Structure 1
Amino acid sequence: MKKEFKFRHRVKAYLYPNMLTASPNDFSARTISERSMSIADICESAVARGGAHTTAAAMEANAILFFKEMAYRLADGFSINTGYFLASTNIKGVFESPTETFNKEKHNVSFQFRQGEIMRSMIPDIEVDLLGVAETGPFIGQVFDVKTATTNDTLSPGHILKLAGSKIKITGNLSDIGIFFIALADGIKTAVSIKEVATNNPSELIFIIPALNAGDYEVEVVTQYSGGGAPLKSSRSSILNKVLTVM
């Protein structure tokens, strides 16, 4: 008799319209994050589950030392392979001749991470619970930074950003309507001036990115767009589930 396989892990997801295919009947799954965990949270979880053989504080201190040294080596051009993930430096931007030198105004250095063999080996143990099609409302599928030609990655203030999705047309007169960049460091929102929005369609927004300090951001669309007819009485919002970085 074949032994029944039992999953050790579980993730939940909703279905959203797929922006990358032509069929309106295609969907893509978007996972629901239970919550964001810090290094301290992970260490406390490891000790609580058992088998850590140390204190949460000691584990956190060692983890911070590890990541500091890893970041230092990455910044010197080393590649990292922890088994759990691979990391390396990456240069973005166009060099217009073989003799052109690196220019911070045109080119960016970033770090890229990929899953390692240990993480890949855990995938068969994950069960996915699809919770159906997400509640109808605005949905940001992806953003494209024209200057760096990157998708869901980089932000270039003062340059064009293309945002694709569904029901994202900026409509309504409530005070919270608009396009916003949310700084992850402090939660401060920076609004996009409506004068800088060149295209305002249900499936696409094209606009100039406002002045932003270096750091990580989320992009949010808040609208009363109903899909046709009168605007909604209250606003609805969507936040892209990717972190965008200003170098």
Structure 2
Amino acid sequence: MEVKEKNSVIVELHDLTITEQKDDRFGRVVTTKSLSVDDLVNIAVSRRTDLSATTLKSAHEILKNIALEQLANGASVHFGLGYFHLNVNGVFIGDNEKWDNAKHSLSVHVTPTVELRNAVKSCKVDVRGMAASPMAVNSVTDVTSGEVNSKLTPGGGVNIIGTRIKIEGDQAGIGIKLVNETTKEEILVPTTSMLTNSPSKLSFIVPTGLVAGDYRLVISTQHSSSKVFLKKPRTYIFEYLLVVDA
């Protein structure tokens, strides 16, 4: 892939509250847009008028299903921007222990391709100073599995570490929502499921009826550093997709 010089990202700075230095900051890439397969297809069609959206989507779906089939049968697969292979989780006692779903599991490991790594290295980075909103989420930990920024377990606990994330306010929409990436259905986490609610940490129980799929974590609050609520809620959308397994 030819890496073009026009590739660029924007970085905003946030307070690094875990150090003693008051002026320590950490950078976060600003997500400028969220693109679906349909969005990518439309961009491709606009650049290659000889290819139809139907053809591109059909080809993508066929290749994706073949990649899934082969990966699930033990193959290492290079697809899109990554190399995929399976990992085994859990300890086996002795030489002859059989597979136990209660102790063992499979997971997918993804390694970025050279093209992707080179594209990221070549990006022009524009650091535009402190973020307009001090609100940020640093990590989301699924207590059941111990996985960070990747998973949700229905009925299990979640710990969120961040800045200015306390759920407060009296306007509509305040709270924690889990948005299904495919259906766009919004599931509001009930206040009765909240275990911890502080400016730097939120804990809650994941709704038990959450169907399998990919979810966006969305936090809306009127919390401020003073005792007066913000006039308008701040909303933060976590950049990582969180997976609920079937």
TM over 0.5: yes
1:213 aligned partner? 211
Backbone CA RMSD of aligned residues: 2.7
1:12 counterpart = 2:14: no
Equivalent-residue separation in structure 1 for 2:92 and 2:112 (angstroms): 33
Structure 1 residue 21: deviation in Å? Answer: 5.5
Equivalent-residue separation in structure 1 for 2:117 and 2:8 (angstroms): 15
Instruction: Give the AA of the match of 1:73.
Output: Q
Cα deviation code 1:35-67 (max 9, x no counterpart): 4141x44344345445x9755543443332222
1:135 aligned partner? 132
Q: Secondary structure at the match of 1:245?
A: strand
Q: Secondary structure at the match of 2:155?
A: coil
Q: Which moved more, 1:163-172 or 1:226-235?
A: 226-235
2:228 aligned partner? 230
Q: 2:147 aligns with which of 146, 150, 174?
A: 150
Equivalent-residue separation in structure 2 for 1:125 and 1:199 (angstroms): 41
Taking structure 1 as reference, are residues 29 and 177 closer, same or farther at Cα in structure 2, changes over 3 Å only? same
Structure 1 residue 95: deviation in Å? Answer: 5.2
Structure 1: any 5+ residue segments left out of the alignment? 1-5
Taking structure 1 as reference, are residues 175 and 36 closer, same or farther at Cα in structure 2, changes over 3 Å only? same
1:181 counterpart = 2:185: no
Structure 1 residue 19: deviation in Å? Answer: 6.6
Taking structure 1 as reference, are residues 91 and 239 closer, same or farther at Cα in structure 2, changes over 3 Å only? farther
Structure 1 residue 205: deviation in Å? Answer: 0.7
Structure 2: any 5+ residue segments left out of the alignment? none
1:114 aligned partner? 111
How many residues of Structure 1 are paired with residues of Structure 2 in the alignment? 238
TM-score if structure 2 supplies the norm length? 0.83
Structure 1 residue 108: deviation in Å? Answer: 5.1
Structure 1 residue 133: deviation in Å? Answer: 1.8
Cα deviation code 1:190-219 (max 9, x no counterpart): 122222222111000112111211111011
Equivalent-residue separation in structure 1 for 2:98 and 2:15 (angstroms): 42
Equivalent-residue separation in structure 1 for 2:198 and 2:98 (angstroms): 39
1:3 aligned partner? none
Identity %: 26
Equivalent-residue separation in structure 1 for 2:40 and 2:15 (angstroms): 33
